Every structure is written in structure tokens, then in C-alpha cells.
Structure 1
Amino acid sequence: MTFLVCVLGLAILPLVWPDPYMLSVVASAGIFIIAAISLNLLLGFTGQLSLGHVAFFGLGAYTTSLLSLGFDVTLWGMSEPLVVDPKPVWLSFVCGIVFAAVAGWLLGKLAFRVRGAYFVIVTISFAQVMRMVALNWVDLTEGPMALNGIPALTLWVPGEGVIDLVTKASTYWLVLAVGVLSYLLVAAIVHSRVGRAMIALRENEVLARSVGIRVTHYLGIATIFAAGIAGAAGGLYAHTVRIIDPDVFMFMFTIMMVIMVIVGGKGTLAGPVVGGLLFGLLPEVLRGVVSPEIQWMIYGVLMIAVLVFMPKGVVPSAGNLLRRYSARAGKTPAPLARRKTA
């Protein structure tokens, strides 16, 4: 019920607050919230820290952009260039998700042979390789000159036909729809047998392995879904910003996702959403109040304070506080015994 109320409240936001700038800010934050939701599936529910998660975000963005624009490229060993005509935007978007998921599967097959710091190094290296490919394969990606003119996603409206989703309100609703679907998908996975196996691996991998849980199998499933959702976020980014360059693979984007998950509460469904709203909207709230230098100082102090006083994140801490308050409110003082009078 709470989830439906929150979704409804977010859905009517453009109607009650139609400011284009704020809708653009919230939509941009929403895209990275979707990416943080995908990272939470790995970091929060399997305990695997992927610092190369931005690679799937960038792969989704570049795949859907190239397919929707069309391209020609000469591959090694081919005498004639490979020519791909522009594809429908929604088909390109889905292909971006699938390509990112396949890349996640391949990385999982390689990276889950190691654990701990070695896994982190493998994921960071993968993201850096993807960035160098995007930067140097100029014939395909245009390199630092960027891919521009990326078409917007479309929607069929009765009576008006197919329209481009280019307005701030339509972009906001599109991001909200994909975000809700991503949230529900992760919730379905977490509450399934697969999700219980992931949580078991997070809590005690040795014990989980001893009772027959196939570690690599379930970690691979988590990576596939996490990569696919991150690819969807990257596709949204490409079709809303409509220009991308190799900076889409910036390491800072992964750090942003990690902060959203940690601050909101890793291993909780609502954690990345709450952390993403704090991380994405606070700078805009402070923008007109204090100077940019003071903004980032306040921002950093607040993040440190959250981690010090709420080490499990905002959502678990708020839940514990609410349960404590409810427990106290449910206790009624026992009636005082009346004194016996002679």
C-alpha cells in the first residue's frame, strides 16, 4: 500500500509542480536511482562490490544509440564495411538492455572465479577497457567527438499517433515507469528462491555452499539482471540527453551509485531510492542558498553524518526508529493500585 501511494505521489508531481527545471533534475536523479537499484542487487543482496558497474550503464547507452542512429564499420578481416541501418528506438533500447546483460554474464563467468579485492579489480578493469574502446574506436563511436542527434524514445497516443517523448514531463514519466518496473523486478527476484540463495551467499558463503547452493550460478544470475537494469538506465540516459561520449564510463558514476546504495541502506529495496533522492536533489536544493564551495562542504558533512550516525543507512535506521516508537506507543502504563483505606 505504501509503495502504491509513493508511486501515485511521484506520478502526479508534474501536474502539481510543472517547473521544467525541477522535473529535469528529478528525472536525471531517477536515471541514476535505476542504476543504483541494479547495483544494490549485487552489493546489497549478494555482498559483491562491483566498482565497474558503470560499464553496463555505458554499454546500454552506446548500444541503443548506435542502433537507433545506424552505423557502418569495417571489422578486422572484412573487405566490405558492415552497414547497419537505423533501427526503431524501442528495439534499440531493448537491444541495449540485452547486450548489457550478456556482457554481465560474460564478466560474471570470468570475475566470479575470484573474490574480494581481486573481483573489484576485475570489474574496474572491465569498465576502463570499455571507456578506452569508446574513446579510441572513432570509426564506430566517434570517440571524443561524441554521438549526437540520438532520437528520443516514442509513445503511441490514441488520436495523435506516435509522439516523441521530448518534453520534461514526458521524460519524467518515462523514467518513473522504467524505475518502477526495475524496482518490482528486483523485489520479485529478492523474494524468490533465487533471492534467498543470494542472501545466503551474502551472509555466509561457506555455509551456503555446504548446503548445496551453487555459488557461481546464483552470482551469475544476479550479475545478468543487475547489468541489464544498468543498461536500461544507460539507454534512458542516452535517449533523454541525446548526446553521449566516453565520459559516460566515468568512474565517478560508479561512486555515485555506491554512495546512493550505502547511504540509503544496502540490502533494502527502498535504500537506493532514498539515497538517490538525497544524493541527486540536495545539491539543487542548496544551489540558490549558498555558494558552490559551501554546497559541497555541506553535502560532504551530511554524507559523513549519515554514515556515522546511521551506519546501516537511512532506511534501516528509520525503520528501527519507527518500530521502537510503535513499541513504546503500544505499551500502556499499568493502573496504579489503589491504597486500601481503613
Structure 2
Amino acid sequence: MYKTVKRTVAGSAVITVLALPYLGIKTYYLHIAILSLINALLALGLNVIAGYTGQLSLAQAAFFGIGSYTTALLMLQQKISFWLAAPLGIACATLIAILIGIPTLRLKGPYFVISTLGFGEIVRLILLNWESVTRGPNGLPGIPAPDPISLGFTVLAFDTKVAAYYLNLTVLLLVLVVYSNTINSRVGRALRAIRNDQIAAEVMGINLTFYKVLAFAGGAALSGLAGALYAGYIRFISPDTFTLGEAINILVMMVLGGMGTIIGPILGSVIITYLLETMRILADYRLIIYGLLMFIIILYLPSGFAGLLTATGEKIGKFFVASEKPAPVCRGSAKEISEPVESEV
């Protein structure tokens, strides 16, 4: 019974996600859904280095910006197709992460966090002041949408919100397949070993530097991918998007969703993106309310929303198991049961 309910809920969720643009929702909420898909990639990227490897980083917004600006500049100045510019943007973010990660990942605890914070600020200042390339605070307008893809019998265009939704959803699903296989592989076990005890992991023969840099580069690649998709969807980027505030938002998405899980960062990105967008109408009070909500959730949901779902599922499972237990069987033969008991005088 419990498995049936579980499959029904999961199936309903999948159908809802796939059919979301055709469920009569407003364009504004479809926009939030698209941003949630992009933010899910950012949160999953941070989850690789922080959730599974135990190295807290505040550089995800910087890699987000590197992927976004590289993709946009190649499309605007070099007239390169989005489908070629996006991989180059991802490669640029990944390469810089490797170059930065090799020296900084030797640092531990708050020193590594501060180094990533400093790197993020350096990237932001470059984007802000290198006006001959990035146009500084004016940003880059007029970024082309991803080029149409011809399938012979039809042409897939990506200049509408519905098309952008399915493009980002497809990318996220493909990422989840690779992500899940990697986390459950030898690489994932090595990352978790480093997170749990670095000394023990090193004694076991795990190359700490290699796997830390691998996780850092993997997280940067996902952020670069998110940046490319963001540029192709919003069609305008500026340094104001890739700030420390954005890095903190990504961190909150991962923590509240459930760090060290696969579904957690996705849940966190959906909830936080919705809160950030809908609370804009509260102007100056938005950040105060947002901070209070985060404090309450962290206080009462230390394992995040993924932990809450897991605990709820376990309770429901125990309820169904208890209700499905067979009635106790009476011991003894039918003859013994049917014979009357003689009372002793």
C-alpha cells in the first residue's frame, strides 16, 4: 500500500513538472519556474563541494558570472552559436576553478571560505570595471536566444518562455542522471570519505588534493552551465547579478533543501526562488522577512526539506506497515479449539 502511494505521489509530481506550462499558470509563475531550474543547477554545484566534500565555498556566484559573461560575449562579439558558446563558457569556468582550487583547497576551514569570498569579489570587480569588454555597470543587453534546432520534420525554437522552460528542464534532468551516477560511484564515496574524516581518507589512499579539485571544478562547471542558460534566457546580464548576495542565496538553497542529498538543493531552489521573487513587493521589508524565515526554518529543520520529506515518508511507511500486519494466528488444532473447556470443581 505504501509503495503504491509513494509511486502515485512521485508520478503525479513528474506529470505536473512535465505539463506545467499547460496547466494554465500565469507567465510570471512560469518565469519563476525557469529561474528555479537554473538555480537548481547552482545549488547542485555548491552541493558537490560543500555537501559531499565538506568544503564550504562562496565562489559559486563568480563561476555563475564567468559562464554567463563568456557565453554572452562570444555570442555578441564573435557571433558564435549558443550551442558552441555555452560549452566554452562552462570550460572557462571549470579551468579557472582548477587554477584557483589547486592553491586554495590546501587551506582549511574559514581560511578557504575567505579565499573563495575574495575570489568572488575579484571577479565582480573585474566585471564591473573592465568596461571596454563587459560594459561595466551597464551590462550586456541584446543577448541572442539559443539558436533554433532543426529536426527535419520540425524546428525547435527557444525564444518563448515555454520553450525556455523545457530547455532548462531537459538540461537539469540530464545533469541529474550524471550527478546521481557520479555520487553513487567510487568518486562519490571518496568525496564523502573526505567530508567525514580527511585524515582517515588519506590513510585509506584517497588523493585529497585531486578529489577536492575535482569537486571544486565540477561545482564550477554546473555554475558555468547555469550562467550560460541564464544569459540565453534573460538576454541581459550585469555585474549586479553575480554578487556576494547571490552566493549566499545559493548557499541558503542548498542548506535549506538538505545538503549532501540530491533532491534537497532542487527543493531549496524552488522554495527560495519563489520567496525571493514574490517578496519583491514588500520592498525594504523583504530582506527582513526573508532572514526571519530562514532563521526559523534552519532552527526547526536542521536536515532541510529533504530531511523533512524523508522523516515524513518513514512515518507514513510505518503506519502502512502496522496497518497491513496480519491478524495473530491461534495456536492449537481445530479440535482443541472447538472442544468445550471443562471447569474444575
The TM tier, using the shorter chain, reads 0.7 to 0.9
- Which stretch shifts more, 108-117 or 295-304? 295-304
In structure 1, what residue type is equivalent to 2:306? Answer: V
Shift of 1:11: 1.7
> Which residue in 1 is equivalent to 2:314?
323
Aligned pair partner of 1:20 in 18, 27, 37: 27
Contact 2:81–2:146 (CA under 8 A) maintained in structure 1: no
Shift of 1:93: 0.8
Structure 2: runs of 5 or more not aligned = 1-6, 331-336
Shift of 1:31: 1.1
Query: What is the 5 A alignment of 1:329-340?
Result: 329-331=320-322, 332=325, 335=328
Please tell me whether Structure 1 or Structure 2 has the larger radius of gyration of its CA atoms.
Answer: 2
RMSD, aligned CA: 2.6
Q: From the superposition, tell whether residues 207 and 304 of structure 1 become closer, same or farther in structure 2 (CA, over 3 Å).
A: same
Shift of 1:321: 2.8
- TM-score, normalised on structure 2? 0.86
Q: Give secondary structure in 2 for the equivalent of 1:93.
A: helix
Shift of 1:241: 1.0
Query: What is the 5 A alignment of 1:282-301?
Result: 282-283=275-276, 291=282, 298-301=289-292
Matched, 1:177 2:184: no
Query: What is the 5 A alignment of 1:217-232?
Result: 217-232=210-225
> Which residue in 1 is equivalent to 2:161?
168
In structure 1, what residue type is equivalent to 2:95? Answer: V
Structure 1: runs of 5 or more not aligned = 71-84
> Which residue in 1 is equivalent to 2:94?
101
State the distance in 1 between where 2:69 and 2:244 align: 17
State the distance in 2 between where 1:95 and 1:319 align: 39
Contact 1:105–1:223 (CA under 8 A) maintained in structure 2: yes
Q: Give secondary structure in 2 for the equivalent of 1:94.
A: helix
Bigger proportion of residues as strand = 1
- Which stretch shifts more, 151-160 or 96-105? 151-160
Contact 1:153–1:239 (CA under 8 A) maintained in structure 2: yes
Q: From the superposition, tell whether residues 286 and 136 of structure 1 become closer, same or farther in structure 2 (CA, over 3 Å).
A: closer
Matched, 1:209 2:202: yes
State the distance in 2 between where 1:201 and 1:179 align: 27
Q: From the superposition, tell whether residues 287 and 50 of structure 1 become closer, same or farther in structure 2 (CA, over 3 Å).
A: closer
Matched, 1:49 2:56: yes
- Which stretch shifts more, 177-186 or 164-173? 177-186
Shift of 1:335: 4.9
Shift of 1:16: 1.7
Contact 2:81–2:147 (CA under 8 A) maintained in structure 1: no
> Which residue in 1 is equivalent to 2:231?
238
Matched, 1:310 2:301: yes
Shift of 1:282: 3.4
Query: What is the 5 A alignment of 1:74-85?
Result: 85=78
Matched, 1:38 2:38: no
Q: From the superposition, tell whether residues 246 and 296 of structure 1 become closer, same or farther in structure 2 (CA, over 3 Å).
A: closer
Give the percent of matched residue pairs that are identical in Structure 1 and Structure 2: 34
Q: Give secondary structure in 2 for the equivalent of 1:266.
A: coil
Aligned pair partner of 1:58 in 56, 65, 79: 65
State the distance in 2 between where 1:129 and 1:138 align: 15
